Structure formats: structure tokens, C-alpha cells
């Protein structure tokens, strides 16, 4: 059993959190007020450490804004931690949203190709898998129509099937299981279980504690940037359900 993801003393501090549009003017104003923006520091993650073992499915739970997404982005090396270190062994694919690179004007088929390439598949792989993806999404009849004509359920199915055509060692799933109708939701759960059976490592984030319980062996609870608990999935979820955490 080897450690494939090692998160060590990771902290992340965001500045100017409240300012979305930064401009030369506001930079100048801040410069004059000198240090006015020091107050706007937000500590998104505070000294978080944990390890994930190869083949494990780790659930990550916590309230909105607790720092889960920041943690996932740091593990996927989309953003850098302010301090601390991350080690990842093997290929890692983050699925942080459904429909990476999708555009409504393109057809379903074109979206599969572009999205698949962005997720890291080669040209050859994507053309090999495309029929399988279309079949899994149950969209054979409309695959050459622009995606803007799809219902939201059809869109989710297309996005999900495309995302799961990848074959990494470690996969990060951020709230993307509860898509489509009930039948498709169970089909997609099967897909995740298939990944699990192939002994892939999964980091699984969800607000749906029931599916966390069903999927994961262990879990961690993140609370205002801190690692509040790590342990087997039942005990973490029990703690999650205590009134002060709910």
C-alpha cells in the first residue's frame, strides 16, 4: 500500500477576496491608502495534512466555503499553496465541473472531442472511444445537433460520459455524480464503482452524505479551512451530522 497523494501542512491565503475587478485605478487607490487591503486576507486552508493510499476512495465533506474546492484545486496544481507541499504519484485528472470546455454552439460530437482532448486524452484515444461515449450518454439520435438544443439532463449525460472516458490513476470528483434522472444517476454510480474496482484512487467531494457513505472507505471533514477529522467514513459523517456542524 503506497501513498499516492501526500498533502503536507498546506495553507492557502487569498488576498483582495472581495474585489473581483482589479484595475489600475483601484491599485492606485490602494497604494495611497497603503495597507488598506491587508484586512482582506482570507485564510482558505490552514495547515492541512493528510495522505491518500493507492486504491482508496476518500470522501471530502464540509460546508460550502469550508475550503474543499481550494484543496482540490491545489491537489490538481491549478493553484499553488501559500505554504506546505503536495506530492502526487501517477496521473491525476480533476473533474471539477461537468462539461469542461463545452460550448453550446458546437455539436455533441465536437464537444466530446474538444473536451476529451482538454481532459488529456490523445486524438487517437478520443476517436476510439467516441462511440462508446455516445452510447453511454444515450444520445445517439441528437449527437450531431448543437448542444444548446439539449435539455439540461441530456447536457449532463454528455458531459458525464465524456469525463469518464479518461483513464487516470487518480481521479478527483467534485459534486458531479447527481446528474440526469434516477436511472442515469445509478448508471453513473456504477461507473465510479467500476473505477474503484480497477483499483483507482478517488477523491470524492459531495454534499450528498448518503452517496459519500456508499462510495467511500474513509473521509475527511474540512471546517473553515482546517482538517476537523479524518477517519472511517461513518464516524466522520456522524460528526458532520452533529448540530454544530450541520
Q: Which residues contact other proteins (rule: CB under 8 A)?
A: 14, 21-25, 27, 73, 76-80, 93-94, 96-97, 100-101, 103, 105-106, 110, 113-114, 117-120, 123
CB nearer to other proteins: give 29 or 118: 118
**CB neighbours of 60 closer than 8 A, spacing ≥ 6?**
68, 71, 72, 203, 204, 205, 219, 220, 222
Pick 124 or 210: Cβ nearer other proteins: 124
Shortest Å, Cβ 96 to other proteins: 4
Q: Which residues of 232-243 are buried (b: 16+ CB within 10 A; e: fewer)?
A: ebeebbebbeee
Within 10 A of 129 (CB to CB), how many other CB atoms are there? 19
Q: Min. distance of Cβ 231 from other proteins in angstroms?
A: 29
- At closest approach, how far in Å is the CB of 240 from other proteins? 25
Nearer to other proteins, 22 or 31 (CB): 22
Task: Output the smallest distance, CB 114 to other proteins, in A.
Answer: 5
Instruction: Tell me the C-alpha distance between 246 and 243, whole Å.
Output: 5
Exposed / middle / buried, residue 54 (Cβ in 10 Å: 0-12, 13-18, 19+): middle
Of 9 and 122, nearer to other proteins (C-beta) is 122
For the bound state, the minimum distance from the C-beta of residue 140 to other proteins, rounded and expressed in Å, comes to 22
Torsions phi, psi for 95 (to 5 deg)? -110, 85
User: CB of 80: closest distance to other proteins in angstroms?
Assistant: 5
CB of 48 to other proteins, least distance (A): 18
**Which residue's CB is nearer to other proteins, number 115 or number 229?**
115
Sign of CA dihedral 224, 48, 193, 162: positive
Task: Give the burial class of 201: count Cβ atoms within 10 A of its Cβ; 0-12 exposed, 13-18 middle, 19 or more buried.
Answer: buried
Q: How far apart, in whole angstroms, are the C-alpha atoms of residue 48 and residue 188?
A: 31
Q: Do 59 and 232 contact (CB within 8 A), yes or no?
A: no
Give the residue with the Cβ less far from other proteins, 77 or 178. Answer: 77
> What cell numbers appear for 13 in the block?
491565503
Kindly tell me which of 94 and 108 has the beta carbon lying closer to other proteins: 94
Amino acid at each position: 500500500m503506497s501513498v499516492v497523494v501526500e498533502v503536507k501542512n498546506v495553507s492557502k491565503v487569498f488576498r483582495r477576496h472581495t474585489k473581483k475587478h482589479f484595475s489600475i485605478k483601484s491599485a492606485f487607490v490602494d497604494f495611497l491608502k497603503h495597507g488598506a487591503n491587508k484586512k482582506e486576507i482570507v485564510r482558505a486552508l490552514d495547515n492541512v495534512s493528510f495522505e491518500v493510499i493507492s486504491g482508496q476512495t476518500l470522501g471530502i465533506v464540509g460546508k460550502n466555503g469550508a475550503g474543499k474546492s481550494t484543496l482540490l484545486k491545489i491537489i490538481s496544481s491549478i493553484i499553488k499553496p501559500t505554504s506546505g507541499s503536495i506530492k502526487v504519484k501517477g496521473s491525476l485528472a480533476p473533474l471539477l465541473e461537468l462539461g469542461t470546455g463545452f460550448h453550446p454552439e458546437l455539436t455533441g460530437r465536437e464537444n466530446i472531442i474538444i473536451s476529451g482532448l482538454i481532459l488529456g486524452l490523445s486524438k487517437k484515444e478520443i476517436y476510439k472511444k467516441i462511440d462508446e461515449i455516445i452510447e453511454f450518454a444515450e444520445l445517439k439520435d441528437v449527437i450531431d445537433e448543437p448542444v444548446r438544443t439539449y435539455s439540461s439532463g441530456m447536457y449532463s449525460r454528455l458531459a458525464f460520459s465524456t469525463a469518464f472516458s479518461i483513464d487516470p490513476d487518480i481521479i478527483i470528483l467534485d459534486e458531479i455524480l447527481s446528474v440526469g434522472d434516477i436511472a442515469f444517476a445509478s448508471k453513473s454510480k456504477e461507473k465510479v464503482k467500476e473505477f474503484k474496482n480497477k483499483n483507482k484512487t478517488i477523491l470524492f467531494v459531495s454534499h450528498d452524505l448518503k452517496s459519500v457513505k456508499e462510495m467511500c472507505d474513509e473521509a475527511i471533514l474540512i471546517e473553515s479551512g482546517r482538517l476537523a477529522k479524518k477517519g472511517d467514513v461513518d464516524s466522520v459523517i456522524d460528526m458532520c451530522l452533529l448540530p454544530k456542524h450541520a
